[in-house]
Amino acid sequence: MSNNIKKINKNRDILLRRALWVIVPFLLAILALDKVSLITIFGILAVYLIFVFAKDKIWYLLVLAVPSLVFGKILYIPITNTWVYEARFAEVFLGMVLIVFISDVFLNNKIINLKFDKISFGLLIFLIASLASIYSALDFRLFVFALKTIVFSFLAYFLALNLLDNKKKVFYFLYSMAITGMILSAQIFWKFYQMGFSIDFFFNRSDILIPIGPIATTAAILTFLAPILLAFYFQLNDLNKWKPFVFLGFFMSFFAVFLTLGKGAIISLFFGLFVVFCMHKQKRIAYILFFMWFAALLYFGFQPYFAGLFERFKTTLVDVNTEFRVKEYKLSFDLIKNHPWMGVGVGQQLYYYKKILNQEQGNFVNNFILQTVIDLGLAGLFLMLFIIKNIIKKIKDVWRAGGKESVLVIGFIAAFAAAFLNGMVEVTIYALPYAIVFWLTLGVFENAAEREEKP
């Protein structure tokens, strides 16, 4: 029976290869008749070629999804005369991987091998609830803008859980995170230099953009990456040629977070690294020496900066940013009081904020749980708590199964702890780049935990 199945699959693959001689001319003819765009033709051909020749290699696109975020939005699809949908490489990669993966699963009867845990289930139900909220949408563009983050969050977790499932894939993914940390940090350093080291860099963080998005979002991503990269550095064998690059990725990420003077990001980063310090007892002296050296570098080499950092923390309760946050939370609770059960609808909080605050462009609430309640009401809160509960359960299961012996597992746990704390005071998982990084990493977590030997 198995030989017959293999023969059928082989014959089908041969047929699909030969079909290219018909499909390519057909697509070119459609293009010549101006029926579809060139991007659409390339997309169809890319998916077809990957399925036929490289469906076992699609996990590379997941590995590339994280560093591809540094290029920002690269694809512009006109929806109407006044509306253009903007996409990133990572969105394209996730979409292509999904099509190829699902096609492979159904055509080759691999459904029984699919991994679909309670977190996947929770994200799927959250996505369905978000889709249903279209009935309360006052601004369809804002609905689509917010919905795509939820869609790609589910795809990132589900695909990473199923495809990044062995030692080689997990470590390639971690190397890509180190590269991402270096590039994002370099972009922050360059932006700081371009602005002439102006104090505006510190106090207008949400308005200053690099390709991936606002500086505040970039700092949140680097805060999440740093504990993992530090743990990954200690996980690697001393003879590994990539080990210095991983440490460089950690150090640049660490330094860039401080450079942005983001209070929430800095506190969350310290919290995450403190978790690593407490759990990884073998390297405590190394951690202490590093932080002492870094503090001395800041104090003696960057005295004005160090003073600015101290001043920013000292004025936390009275600065303009804090006053706006208080006003923001009051408006949030008013929206919740008026829409307690099903919320205002995904993305519609931006509409209300722009209208009430008379702003040209609204902002998401700087608390992911509060944002969930605003969007989907108590139903959304229940779903979010269900997802958080199962994330904690996954962490506990990995820890009890021997994860406490792996410094890499400790790094992942520290990153999730930092992400939760940062999500209480910053826009995190509702920002698409951050969401893709976070859910891909969570999908990798269990698979990474099973690989304790040093590469």
Closest CA to 415 of 389, 430, 434: 434
CA separation, residue 437 to residues 296, 303, 316, 360, 441 (Å):
32, 34, 29, 29, 6
pLDDT band at 53 (very low <50, low <70, confident <90, very high): confident
| Mean pLDDT, range 201-227, rounded to an integer | 80
Per-residue confidence (pLDDT) for residue 21, from 0 to 100:
59
| Mean pLDDT, range 369-377, rounded to an integer | 92
258's CB contacts (< 8 A; 6+ apart) are 266, 298, 309
Tokens found for residue 177: 């995170």
- Extents of the domains making up the chain: 2-114, 123-449
By residue count, the chain amounts to 455
Closest CA to 409 of 432, 455, 442, 371: 442
**pLDDT at position 13 over 50:** yes
Per-residue confidence (pLDDT) for residue 449, from 0 to 100:
66
User: Across the chain, which distance is largest between two alpha carbons, in Å?
Assistant: 74
**pLDDT at position 87 over 90:** no
**pLDDT at position 1 over 60:** no
Name beta bridge partners: 73: 88
Q: Percentage of the chain surpassing pLDDT 90?
A: 37
Average pLDDT, the chain: 82
Rounding to the nearest 10 degrees, give the CA dihedral for residues 282, 287, 289, 295.
-170
**pLDDT at position 80 over 80:** no
Per-residue confidence (pLDDT) for residue 163, from 0 to 100:
93
Rounding to the nearest 10 degrees, give the CA dihedral for residues 56, 149, 266, 228.
-20
| Mean pLDDT, range 258-287, rounded to an integer | 83
| Mean pLDDT, range 202-210, rounded to an integer | 64
What one-letter code names the amino acid at 325?
Answer: R
**pLDDT at position 122 over 90:** yes
Instruction: Report helix angle 432-449 to 368-400, nearest 10.
Output: 10
Condensed to tens digits (0 to 9), the pLDDT of residues 216-270 reads: 889 999 999 999 999 999 888 888 889 999 999 999 999 888 877 778 888 899 8
| Cα–Cα dist 42/28, whole Å | 10
229 contacts 185 by C-beta, under 8 angstroms: no
CB atoms within 10 A of CB 295: 11
Per-residue confidence (pLDDT) for residue 452, from 0 to 100:
47
Tokens found for residue 331: 């408006």
**pLDDT at position 52 over 50:** yes
445 contacts 394 by C-beta, under 8 angstroms: yes
**pLDDT at position 204 over 70:** no
Per-residue confidence (pLDDT) for residue 453, from 0 to 100:
46
**pLDDT at position 132 over 80:** yes
Q: What are the φ/ψ torsions at residue 166 (nearest 5 degrees)? A: -145, 175
| Cα–Cα dist 230/382, whole Å | 34
| Cα–Cα dist 90/156, whole Å | 10
| Mean pLDDT, range 334-344, rounded to an integer | 87
User: For 448, what's the count of Cα atoms within 13 Å in the CB-facing half-sphere?
Assistant: 28
| Cα–Cα dist 256/210, whole Å | 13
Per-residue confidence (pLDDT) for residue 125, from 0 to 100:
96
Condensed to tens digits (0 to 9), the pLDDT of residues 378-401 reads: 999 999 999 999 999 999 988 887
3-state secondary structure the chain: CHHHHHHHHHHHHHHHHHCHHHHHHHHHHHHHCCCCCHHHHHHHHHHHHHHHHHHHHCHHHHHHHHHHHHHCEEEEEECCCCCEEEEEHHHHHHHHHHHHHHHHHHHCCCHHHCCCCHHHHHHHHHHHHHHHHHHHCCCHHHHHHHHHHHHHHHHHHHHHHHHCCCHHHHHHHHHHHHHHHHHHHHHHHHHHHHCCCCCHHHHCCCCCEECCEEHHHHHHHHHHHHHHHHHHHHHCCCCCCCHHHHHHHHHHHHHHHHHCCCHHHHHHHHHHHHHHHHHCHHHHHHHHHHHHHHHHHHHHHCHHHHHHHHHHHHCCCCCHHHHHHHHHHHHHHHHHHHCCCCCCCCCHHHHHHHHHHCCCCCCCCCCHHHHHHHHHHHHHHHHHHHHHHHHHHHHHHHHHCCHHHCHHHHHHHHHHHHHHHHHCCCCCCCCHHHHHHHHHHHHHHHHHHCCCCCC
Closest CA to 217 of 237, 187, 238, 251: 187
Closest CA to 97 of 150, 151, 155: 155
Per-residue confidence (pLDDT) for residue 308, from 0 to 100:
56
Q: Percentage of the chain surpassing pLDDT 70?
A: 77
Condensed to tens digits (0 to 9), the pLDDT of residues 144-168 reads: 889 999 999 999 999 999 999 888 8
